[in-house]
């Protein structure tokens, strides 16, 4: 961790938008009072403050920010200072319309909302550089400054002429010649070969959407262009404040609770010093159980932590509800502590909120916040925030600790994008991210720590690597997997693996030879089911449902562990294992329900000795994760259910929040979290 937080405390606080309240001095004074009372210590300032900082072009006002920075410092708080590029003042859009985005249908957007600037616009870049430099010069040495928060939730794309030009140059650099581009994009299909670079334009509902190689390159370009803009934003900041870490807040695709799809965070993570993300699950929704939701949050936490192999930050969350879910339900008592501790258990060094005080007007006036319109501290939400703050103080020594895992699940953005595009199979059931989460679920249920990493990661430290549905896989990644298994690793793959290369071109002459070697099988075809179609397989004398997809394999050296029972492929192998080098490679040919994954991974976990060493008898709704505190493990035991639960563990412990001793049988009330250390 080269440039990490220089602050001993876990960060508790959040987005503070005093620029909305400059005409309310009583409120600003009250904020400071309430901050003390809430056990908060860190605030993000200036995220959308451009019109307060530069109300007209070239006229800068920092006095208000000076005062807030000083006030926060005086009461021992740290500041995460934002650059304001997430939204811009009206004067800029009016005078320089080029800063506004052009959508895929080539419509120039009007001023409004936020996050709708062009990442290529030279004027936007110039304006951002000016204000960012001023912020760095003015506050670089300020004792409250802890970290930079660059822009806000980067996302989206722009299709203006600047962006088209940049896309074409990006392609030229990548392919060198039009011949190479046409080959990669399968140009002759529907006569889509290009004879001039200038004919190429970004995908559009009014134009091209069918060239999958192009769609994939556009998404890659958008990631690169966003990172390029980010690098532009930080260039003076890095020079002026080399020791202040830099982050930008990442997201998830929140309603589905899957990793954010619009940007390749594997690439982006390399450019931030600390990865932070904004997490807004729909707790208590009417379509899933609390533990279903919690395990998905765990998956994303594990992915974002693993991307940098260091602790991450929760930059935004809500102490109650949000304002943009279809139904904005508030967290039930206890769930705020539980959900905050879950992130810390998975490696977060913070719990920060959007936002400190509820806005009075505009679209977020009913979004959950620490301080409500009532301006009081004696309400439930404020008191639960306070409880989180004091709990964080008691366990602050976990800060900075990072726990390795022996199990990895592979997740890949290129693959997700290519699978999304792929026609064939069944549009509604492909569900790549969800499938990764279903495999993850076994390990979450059994409290086995997992890292979620990309196929490029160093796999040698894992005893088990699970790689569901790697439909797009490069030859290099295939070699990487081969090396891992050869050296003694244990690999699990599934149906829909190894079908296209990095250009989304199908591998010719059957399943790639190297994959055939690793798994000791060949794939003949993949059957796609209607939702009402089912098959069965028998594994360990138990029968399990097969649904959605079933690959038909020809066995080479692999041993069959299960066979299909029905249809024209009854009797053919459905699950196989192959000894390869010093390792073993398993192949799950059909999609199954969770009960099969439970039985299957149970065998692997006992065979490779991967069970949790603290938990003796767990419960699927009770998640146990651990971090280190002064070199000793700290266990977070979390009940993600509405009923009382009991689990058994190997050691007696002490509850760090109450200092009470806890025996080997642990009882948890609904939504209870205990933080324990072995005596």
Binds 163: which of ligand GLA, Zn ion, none (CB < 5-8 Å by kind) = Zn ion
User: Which of 41, 42, 44, 120 lies at the binding interface for Zn ion (CB under 5 A)?
Assistant: 120
Binds 160: which of ligand GLA, Zn ion, none (CB < 5-8 Å by kind) = Zn ion
Instruction: Give the chain's end-to-end CA distance (angstroms, integer).
Output: 30
Is residue 160 within the footprint of Zn ion (CB under 5 A)? yes
Give which of 123, 148, 143, 118 is closest to 46, Cα–Cα: 148
Cβ 83 to Zn ion shortest distance, Å: 19
Binds 53: which of Zn ion, ligand GLA, none (CB < 5-8 Å by kind) = none
> Measured between alpha carbons, how far is residue 70 from residues 21, 142, 245, 433 in Å?
17, 8, 20, 45
User: Which of 280, 471, 484, 635 lies at the binding interface for ligand GLA (CB under 6 A)?
Assistant: 280
Is residue 478 within the footprint of ligand GLA (CB under 6 A)? no
Q: Based on the residue annotation, tell me whether 316 is a catalytic residue of this protein.
A: yes
Is residue 676 within the footprint of Zn ion (CB under 5 A)? no
Cβ 118 to Zn ion shortest distance, Å: 3
Which residues, in sequence order, are CB contacts of 129 under 8 Å at separation 6+? 232, 233, 235, 236
Is residue 403 within the footprint of ligand GLA (CB under 6 A)? no
Binds 367: which of ligand GLA, Zn ion, none (CB < 5-8 Å by kind) = ligand GLA
Is residue 316 within the footprint of ligand GLA (CB under 6 A)? yes
Decide: 200 and 225 in contact? Cβ < 8 Å.
Answer: no
Q: Provide the sign of the torsion angle of the four alpha carbons 474, 475, 480, 482, taken in this order.
A: positive
CA angle 593, 598, 600 (to 5 degrees): 100
Cβ 40 to ligand GLA shortest distance, Å: 18
Q: How many CB atoms lie within 10 A of CB 201?
A: 16
Distance, CA of 207 to CA of 186 (rounded, Å): 17
Catalytic residue among 54, 316, 517, 584: 316
Strands 464-467 and 490-494: parallel
Query: Long-range pairs for 648-652 at CB < 8 Å and ≥24 separation?
Result: 648/615, 648/616, 648/617, 649/614, 649/615, 649/616, 650/613, 650/614, 650/615, 650/616, 651/614, 651/678, 651/679, 652/678, 652/679
Cβ 364 to ligand GLA shortest distance, Å: 6
Is residue 167 within the footprint of ligand GLA (CB under 6 A)? no
Binds 152: which of Zn ion, ligand GLA, none (CB < 5-8 Å by kind) = ligand GLA
- H-helix or E-strand spanning residue 357: none
> Measured between alpha carbons, how far is residue 259 from residues 196, 253, 263, 288 in Å?
37, 6, 10, 18
Catalytic residue among 54, 153, 266, 584: 153
| Residue nearest to ligand GLA according to CB distances in the complex | 278
Task: Quickly list DSSP for 388-457.
Answer: HHHHHHHTGGGTT-----SEEEE--HHHHHHHHH--SS-GGG--HHHHHHHHHHHHHHTT--EEEE-TTS
Total residues interacting with ligand GLA, rule: CB under 6 A = 9
Decide: 498 and 510 in contact? Cβ < 8 Å.
Answer: no
User: Which of 159, 367, 399, 430 lies at the binding interface for ligand GLA (CB under 6 A)?
Assistant: 367
The nearer residue to Zn ion, 29 or 105, going by C-beta atoms, is 105
Binds 120: which of ligand GLA, Zn ion, none (CB < 5-8 Å by kind) = Zn ion
Cβ 354 to ligand GLA shortest distance, Å: 4
Is residue 278 within the footprint of ligand GLA (CB under 6 A)? yes
The nearer residue to Zn ion, 170 or 402, going by C-beta atoms, is 170
User: Which of 153, 291, 451, 672 lies at the binding interface for ligand GLA (CB under 6 A)?
Assistant: 153
Binds 354: which of ligand GLA, Zn ion, none (CB < 5-8 Å by kind) = ligand GLA
Is residue 19 within the footprint of ligand GLA (CB under 6 A)? no
Task: Kindly provide the residue ranges of all beta strands, DSSP E only, lying in 73-217, ordered along the sequence.
Answer: 78-82, 145-149
Is residue 158 within the footprint of Zn ion (CB under 5 A)? yes
x-or-dash string of contact with ligand GLA, 322-361, rule CB under 6 A: x-------------------------------x-------
Cβ 420 to ligand GLA shortest distance, Å: 23
Decide: 388 and 381 in contact? Cβ < 8 Å.
Answer: no
Cβ 358 to Zn ion shortest distance, Å: 34
> Measured between alpha carbons, how far is residue 57 from residues 96, 134, 243 in Å?
11, 14, 31
Q: Based on the residue annotation, tell me whether 153 is a catalytic residue of this protein.
A: yes
x-or-dash string of contact with Zn ion, 80-119, rule CB under 5 A: --------------------------------------x-
Decide: 464 and 610 in contact? Cβ < 8 Å.
Answer: yes
Helix (H, G, I), strand (E, B) or coil at 59: strand
Alpha helices in 38-160 (DSSP H): 50-53, 63-74, 90-95, 122-139
Structure tokens at 652: 């007696």
Residues making contact with ligand GLA (CB under 6 A): 152-153, 278, 280, 316, 322, 354, 364, 367
Residues assigned a catalytic role:
153, 316
Residues making contact with Zn ion (CB under 5 A): 118, 120, 158, 160, 162-163
């Amino acid at each position: 961790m080269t440039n990490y937080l220089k602050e001993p405390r876990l960060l508790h606080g959040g987005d503070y938008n005093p620029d909305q309240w400059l005409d309310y001095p009583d409120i600003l004074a009250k904020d400071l009072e309430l901050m003390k009372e809430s056990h908060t210590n860190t605030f993000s300032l200036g995220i959308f403050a451009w019109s307060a900082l530069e109300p007209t072009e070239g006229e800068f006002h920092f006095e208000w920010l000076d005062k807030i920075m000083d006030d926060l410092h005086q009461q021992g708080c740290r500041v995460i200072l934002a650059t304001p590029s997430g939204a811009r003042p009206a004067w800029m859009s009016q005078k320089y319309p080029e800063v506004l985005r052009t959508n895929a249908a080539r419509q120039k957007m009007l001023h409004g909302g936020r996050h709708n600037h062009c990442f290529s616009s030279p004027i936007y870049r110039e304006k951002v550089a000016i204000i960012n430099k001023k912020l760095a010069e003015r506050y670089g040495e300020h004792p409250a400054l802890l970290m930079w928060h660059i822009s806000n939730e980067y996302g989206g794309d722009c299709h203006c002429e600047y962006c088209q030009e940049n896309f074409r140059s990006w392609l030229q650099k990548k392919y060198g010649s039009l011949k190479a581009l046409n080959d990669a994009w399968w140009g002759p299909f529907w006569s889509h070969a290009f004879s001039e670079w200038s004919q190429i334009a970004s995908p559009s509902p009014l134009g091209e959407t069918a060239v999958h190689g192009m769609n994939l390159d556009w998404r890659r370009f958008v990631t690169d262009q966003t990172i390029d803009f980010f690098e532009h934003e930080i260039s003076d900041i890095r020079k002026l404040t080399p020791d202040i870490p830099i982050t930008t807040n990442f997201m998830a695709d929140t309603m589905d609770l899957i990793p954010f799809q619009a940007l390749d965070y594997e690439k982006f993570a390399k450019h931030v010093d600390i990865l932070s993300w904004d997490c807004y699950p729909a707790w208590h929704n009417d379509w899933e159980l609390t533990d279903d939701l919690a395990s998905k949050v765990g998956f994303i936490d594990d992915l974002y932590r693993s991307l940098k192999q260091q602790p991450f930050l929760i930059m935004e969350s809500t102490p109650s509800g949000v304002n943009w879910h279809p139904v904005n339900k508030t967290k039930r008592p206890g769930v705020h502590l539980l959900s905050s501790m879950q992130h810390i258990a998975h490696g977060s060094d913070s719990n920060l909120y959007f936002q400190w005080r509820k806005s009075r007007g505009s679209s977020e006036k009913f979004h959950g916040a620490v301080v409500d319109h009532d301006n009081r501290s004696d309400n439930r939400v404020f008191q639960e925030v306070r409880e989180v703050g004091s709990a964080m103080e008691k366990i602050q020594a976990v800060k900075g600790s990072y726990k390795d895992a022996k199990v990895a699940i592979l997740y890949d953005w290129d693959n997700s994008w290519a699978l999304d595009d792929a026609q064939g199979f069944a549009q509604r059931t492909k569900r790549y991210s969800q499938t990764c989460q279903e495999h993850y679920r076994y390990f979450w249920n059994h409290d086995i720590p997992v890292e979620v990493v990309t196929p490029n990661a160093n796999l040698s430290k894992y005893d088990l690597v699970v790689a569901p549905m790697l439909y797009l896989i490069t030859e290099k990644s295939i070699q990487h997997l081969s090396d891992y298994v050869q050296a003694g690793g244990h690999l699990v793959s599934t149906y829909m693996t190894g079908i296209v290369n990095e250009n989304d071109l199908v591998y010719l002459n059957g399943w790639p030879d190297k994959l055939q070697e690793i798994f000791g099988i060949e794939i003949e075809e993949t059957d796609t089911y209607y939702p009402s179609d089912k098959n069965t397989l028998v594994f360990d004398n138990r029968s399990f449902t097969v649904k959605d997809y079933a690959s038909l394999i020809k066995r080479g050296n692999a041993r069959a562990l299960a066979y299909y029972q029905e249809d024209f492929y009854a009797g053919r192998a459905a699950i196989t294992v192959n000894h390869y080098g010093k390792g073993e490679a398993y192949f799950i040919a059909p999609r199954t329900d969770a009960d099969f994954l439970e039985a299957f991974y149970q065998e692997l976990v006992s065979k490779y000795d991967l069970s949790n060493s603290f938990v003796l008898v767990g419960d699927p709704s009770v998640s146990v994760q651990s971090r280190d505190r002064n070199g000793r493990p700290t266990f977070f035991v979390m009940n993600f259910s509405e009923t009382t639960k009991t689990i058994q563990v190997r050691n007696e412990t002490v509850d760090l929040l109450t200092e009470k001793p806890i025996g080997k049988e642990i009882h948890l009330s609904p939504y209870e979290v205990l933080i324990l250390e072995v005596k």
